[in-house]
């Protein structure tokens, strides 16, 4: 049965997974089957993702937000022992999704990637523990969904300022059109933030 299952996985080829310049951050592109009724795709495959990342993925909480154009949420993360892996996607609309390496001992510390996620391209971003995450809504509205592998903990919730010059994120929007929460306006710069000092044992 196990041999048959592995053969089936190979034949299904249900998603393409691409590495990025930030170790552990992955772009997930599900294969979409279209016909005259609409479409179907597998939005999550635990076995394929675990084989790629090399450790168990046990998502325990699903979150969803709806936002209007110009809303920027982030950059957010949680400290251990409540640090989180996130698998994020857009159900309706489009966003510019950003992950920032905040592992102090990482060779890509302070660097970021930005990926467009939309209902059209159906791409997802897998963001491991040790990264800050944020997104900017680029459509009139956007319905954003993400799974996390640890529960929300207000005491461990932290953030980094979205326009910190040390990171230099190009959000590609007129700054006057950005809509932020009071919390995100007051986030610290990376040099002043509580971050991950060690890139190892984040899944211990």
Catalytic residues: 76, 146
- With beta carbons less than 8 A apart as the criterion, state whether 134 and 125 touch: no
Paired with 88 in beta bridges are: 125, 146
Asked whether the beta carbons of 41 and 31 are under 8 A apart, the reply is yes
- Cβ-in-10-Å burial (0-12, 13-18, 19+) of 2 comes to exposed
The Cα 155–Cα 98 span in angstroms is 23
3-state secondary structure 43-78: CCCHHHHHHHHCCCCCCCEEEEEEEECCEEEEEEEE
Are 149 and 176 spatial neighbours (Cβ–Cβ below 8 Å)?
no
How long a stretch of residues is the chain?
A: 204
């Amino acid at each position: 049965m196990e041999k048959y299952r592995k053969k089936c996985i190979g034949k299904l080829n249900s998603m393409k997974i691409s590495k990025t310049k930030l170790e552990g951050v992955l772009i997930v592109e599900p294969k979409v089957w279209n016909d005259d009724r609409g479409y179907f795709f597998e939005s999550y495959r635990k076995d394929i993702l675990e084989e790629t990342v090399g450790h168990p993925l046990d998502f325990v909480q699903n979150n969803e937000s709806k936002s209007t154009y110009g809303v920027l949420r982030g950059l957010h993360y949680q400290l251990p022992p409540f640090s989180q892996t996130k698998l994020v996607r857009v159900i309706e609309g489009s966003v510019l999704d950003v992950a920032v390496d905040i592992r102090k001992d990482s060779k890509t510390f302070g660097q970021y990637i930005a990926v467009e996620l939309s209902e059209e391209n159906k791409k997802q971003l897998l963001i491991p523990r040790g990264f800050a995450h944020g997104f900017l809504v680029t459509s009139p509205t956007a319905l954003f969904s993400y799974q996390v592998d640890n529960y929300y903990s207000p005491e461990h919730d932290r953030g980094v300022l979205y326009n910190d010059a040390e990171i230099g994120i190009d959000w590609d929007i007129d700054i006057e059109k950005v809509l932020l929460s009071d919390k995100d306006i007051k986030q610290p710069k990376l040099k002043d933030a509580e971050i991950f000092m060690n890139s190892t044992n984040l899944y211990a």
